[in-house]
Structure formats: structure tokens, C-alpha cells
Amino acid sequence: MLQDTFCSSPWFHLRLTYDGTFESCRWSNAPTVGINVCDTTVMQYYNSTEMRQLRTDMLNGVTVAGCSNCHYEDSFGKLSGRSRQLNKSAVALDNFDLTVRSSPHYDRFLYSAEHDGAADYYPTDLQIDLGNVCNSACIMCSPESSSLLTQDYKKLYKINPKQFANPKSYTSWTRDPVLLDRVVSEIAAIPNLKYIHFLGGETLYDPAFYAICERLIAAGVAKNIIVGTTTNGTLYDARIEQLITQFQEFHLGISIETVTHLNDYVRYPGNITDIKDNIEHFLALRDNSKLYVSLRITPNVFTISEIDLMFEYMIKHRVIAESCNILHNPRWLRIELLPNDIRQDTILRLRALIDRYALEKHDTKNIRRSDLIASVIADTVIDYYNLLQDYSTLPDSDELGTKLVGFLKAFESLRNNSILDYAPRYQNFLRHYGY
Amino acid sequence: MHQDIKTFSDITAIDTNDRLAVELTITCHGRTEQNIQLNGIDIVAPYTRVLFDLFSAIDLNINLLGFDEGTSGVEVALNINGLEVLPKYQHLSSNKKCYIDTLGIWSMQIPANFYAWYHKITGQGWVA
């Protein structure tokens, strides 16, 4: 059915990745065709063969391979990227045909249907990846996104080349001042641009982030644009306080997996005490109505066991968690590997949390509304409660368990730490796979 | 909802006539005298169900001609395609209520099209 596969994202969104390669979607897991911003403008990519084919596939009801992560989340009733993008087109999955027909974007869909996938509008929702300059080396991250992890992977490749690829070196497109200037000029000229999300590396650590923001302010377009970015929470840069005032809105996502020192192991070498201090510092800035703060969680096989503590923290501090990504890679960190005893215990603790706070499902789609924080938190808790009850174990669990142990031991040989100091409940599970 | 929408061309083929089912319930409390019009149609029954084109605007007007001050009035409930409009969004009516106890015309207007309007008033987020 079309409602199971269709997404409106290709009509208003695209992504510019770390090395300048364009991608059709921030949630896509498909390999790109390699069109690069070095020799292609943003608008040329927007109407490129790749984007036109994607729109045509969407219109023809094709199940697009790159959308599998969203489809997986849809299967649990979790708020997927697809749901969020459809919502931006005023399309409701529970009334799909009539809301598509009534969508303010209907004429754009129709134009593409009649013009071989071409679009007659503009991208209004951009994701821009600045590069991999980062002060964190999170175990689930990739060298393309972290300079610190790149150094680790060069060593890990020598230890275990089967599990750790030799990181490819690349230069971020933002390091070329002429190219940066050209791209920012193109972006500033896009009519009706509504949202730009910047990703690093660590954006608050990257001079390109401030340079682009300042250029948009100087061009006089910032007041019409919502800027979002994701930070690892290890830094507090006072320049943010000024930027918040210049844009229409400023959405800050802070990546955190749990509120205990297990976060330090996963998001190495962070310190959860410092991160919580910074989070609370940012939260205090919410009095400025232009700032919206959320936590960004991507639970893995370890941190999922403490997710009730994360939710308690969110309720206490009135801050939502955006989690429209179930961790897929590396596969050996997926929550579906969770040992059954810990899974059942986590379900019970989430049930107790739901009962204690009398949480009810609201199915909120517009999750960045300051007046709906309590509803969004309730939805997130219940979504994870349902996910933990419903997911199926992976068919290659045993193989993945062994890979997980090899993965952790390799990292720990560099970091001189042990997962059991942070998650002792996993001892039997890890020992079973040779830890 | 159609169950056989496989491609976008199936969506374009939807007959948009008679796609908005408007249900209007009028409850008179005490003595009242009024004229009611829904998209130009005179309404006299306490409960009315009318079908309109999917892209119709909705224009509900009630002209209160007589009532007993302080003891009577007209209460309005409005559902469209099963979605509650009144009393839930009564703040969007001309007197910001769904209870009429003032002589003259009370109105509730929904611009075309209904679903885009509903998306907006329910705060579902920006249309990119």
C-alpha cells in the first residue's frame, strides 16, 4: 500500500554529508551515487537523476531500500523520520488518502508525477554535516563522524582488521573556504528555507558551524530560519547565547545515552557529571523562547537497560528525548541483543515508571512544541516499553554476541577500561561470549 | 479510507465529491428562536448530517432572533469526518464559544481545505 511506503521528504529535504557528497535524506541508509557539492549546486542535486528517481519511486509505491530504518520503526508504531516528514506535509497515516489529497504539497507531488520526478519547488529542510572534528570517540560512532575515533580506528584496524575498517582519510568540504562561501551563498538564496540541521563531529567545537551561522545572519536570512544542531554536551560555548537571538528559533539536541557513568564508557571520554551540568546550563537558557532543547538518545544493548533512569531525568527536567533512530550499526550493539533477564527487568521498571507517573499515549507528531513536553515524554516512554516487549531477537545473535565481545575488548585495550565496571549486570552475558 | 491506494495515480483518481461528512447537532436550552444555515442550506433539525466536497469551505451561521436573557441559549456541536471541531475548537468561533446567548449572528468558518486547516489548528507543525 502506498501509505506504507510513501514519504514526502524528497520534495523538501536533502542532506549534505561530511565530504561534500549529497544524500537524499538524513535517515536514509542507502549508498549514495556520489554526487558532490564540489561540482554540483544544491539546486542541481535537488533535481538530480537520483532525487527524481526517488520521487518517482515514492509516487509509484516502491519500497525504497534506503528507507528500511524508518519502515522498521514504523513496524513498532515508533515515531519514524518518515512520520515526521509526512507530518510536515500535513499528511496523516491514519487518514492517508484524504490528507495526501488535501496536503499543501499535493500540487508538488502532482507536478513530479507529470514531469518524471522533477520538482518545481525548493528544498526547505536541509541537513548539513560539517565534518568529523570531534572531542568524543563514542563506541557506536564512525570515523567519518569523529576525528578522535579515527585515531582509534587506525590502531584498532591493526588489532582486528576483520571488525575494524582502516578509516579512509577525507577532507571535509567545509575546510575549503571558497567552496564554503559558495555553498552558504546558495543556501542563503533558497526561498522559504525553513530549517537547517547541522551535524558534526561536534558542531560547537567546529569553527565552520559559527562561520556558516554568522554568514546567514549577515545575509539577513537568519531571522526566517530555524537552526538545529546536535552536540555531545561536553562543551558550553557562550557564543550560542548570541546565536539563539539571531535565528527564528534555535533547536539544540544534546546527545546522551544514560545519566550514569555508563555514558562515559559509551560516549568516551565524556564525563556524565560535566555533561549534566552543561545540559542544565542549556536548559536554563530556555527562558529565551527561541531556544528549544532536546536530548538525543540512541539506546544500545547496554544503555537500554538504564533507560528508565534517562526517562526519570527527562521528567524531572522537563526535557524531551528525540529518538527517531533505533541503533542499527554496529549490529552487535543493537538492543535486540539484550539478555532476556535484563530485558524483562527493564520492561518491569518501565511499567512501574508508566504507572507511577500515570503516563498515557498521545501520539504526538510535532514533538518540538514547548507546550507538549509532558505528552512527548509519555509517548517516548510508552514507545520504548512497547518496543522492548515486541521486538524479535536477531537470527544471528550468537555470532553478534561474539563480535560484541571482540569489539569491546579491542576498544578496552586502548582505553584501559572495562564494560563490567559500568554495567556489571552483563557479566554472565559477556562471559558466555568469551569476555 | 480507500484500502486499494497502491500508487499516487490512485490518489489522483479519488472522487473528491461528497468527501466531507459534516455532522451538526443543535441543542436548544429554554426558549430560543433562530435561523441556522450551513453552507447556505437551511437547517431545522436538531441533528443534521450533510456531505460536501473534500475541498469545500465550511460556513456555519446561526442568527439568534429571540431568547430569554440569562435562562436560554443555543448549544452547537460540530464534527467533520469524525473529527471533533465544536466544542473542541470553540475559541475559533465568532464569540469564542459554542453556546449562543446573544442576539444576532454567530458564525464558525473553516476555510478550504478542511484537512490543511485541521493540521494547522491542532498544532501539528510547519508545512515545509
Q: What confidence tens digit (pLDDT) does each residue in A73-97 have?
A: 999 888 899 999 999 999 999 999 9
The low-confidence residues of chain B, meaning pLDDT below 50, are none
The crossing angle, in degrees rounded to 10, of helices A373-390 and A307-317 is 170
Mutant choice from B5, B7, B8 vs A, greatest count of A C-beta within 10 A:
B8
Q: Are strands A320-322 and B20-29 parallel, antiparallel or unpaired?
A: unpaired
Where would I find the beta strands (DSSP E) of A187-264?
195-199, 226-231, 249-255
Task: Categorise residue B17: left if φ over 0, alpha if ψ from -120 to 50, beta otherwise.
Answer: beta
Closest partner residue to A1 among B5, B55, B127, by Cβ?
A: B5
For residue A395, tell me if it sits in a domain: no
CA distances from B67 to A188, B62, B74 (A): 60, 13, 9
For residue A403, tell me if it sits in a domain: no
Asked if the C-beta of A63 comes within 8 angstroms of chain B's C-beta atoms, the answer is no
State the DSSP string of A274-309: HHHHHHHHHHHGGGSTTEEEEEE----TTGGGGHHH
Locate the chain A residue with the closest alpha carbon to B128: A88
State how many domains chain A has.
Answer: 1
Cell numbers placing A16? 549534505
For residue A359, tell me if it sits in a domain: no
CA distances from B8 to A83, A326, A414, B127 (A): 18, 29, 53, 20
User: Which pLDDT belongs to residue B2?
Assistant: 52
State whether the Cα torsion A276-A280-A286-A288 is positive or negative: negative
User: Which pLDDT belongs to residue B116?
Assistant: 95
Check B8 against A59: CB less than 8 A apart: yes
* Rounded Cα distance, A47 and A11, in Å: 10
| Peptide bond just before A269 cis, omega within 30 deg | yes
User: Which pLDDT belongs to residue A368?
Assistant: 84
Residue whose C-alpha is closest to residue A306's, from A268, A273, A338:
A338
Domain that holds residue A31: 2-123
Residues of chain B neighbouring A369 (CB-CB closer than 8 A):
123, 125
For residue A104, tell me if it sits in a domain: yes
ipTM of model: 0.91
For residue A383, tell me if it sits in a domain: no
For residue A205, tell me if it sits in a domain: no
Asked if the C-beta of A224 comes within 8 angstroms of chain B's C-beta atoms, the answer is no
CA atoms within 13 A on the CB side of B84: 8
pLDDT tens digits along A391-429? 999 999 999 999 999 999 999 999 999 999 999 999 999
User: Which pLDDT belongs to residue A364?
Assistant: 83
Residues of chain A neighbouring B3 (CB-CB closer than 8 A):
1
User: Which pLDDT belongs to residue B8?
Assistant: 96
Q: Is 2.60.60 the CATH number for B19-121?
A: yes
Closest partner residue to B124 among A2, A6, A365, by Cβ?
A: A365
Asked if the C-beta of B81 comes within 8 angstroms of chain A's C-beta atoms, the answer is yes
Distance (Å) from the C-alpha of residue B97 to the closest C-alpha of chain A?
23
The low-confidence residues of chain A, meaning pLDDT below 50, are none
What share of residues in chain A are helix, strand, coil (percent, to 5)? 55, 10, 40
Residue whose C-alpha is closest to residue A27's, from A275, A328, A399:
A328
User: Which pLDDT belongs to residue B4?
Assistant: 79
Asked if the C-beta of A90 comes within 8 angstroms of chain B's C-beta atoms, the answer is yes
User: Which pLDDT belongs to residue B128?
Assistant: 63
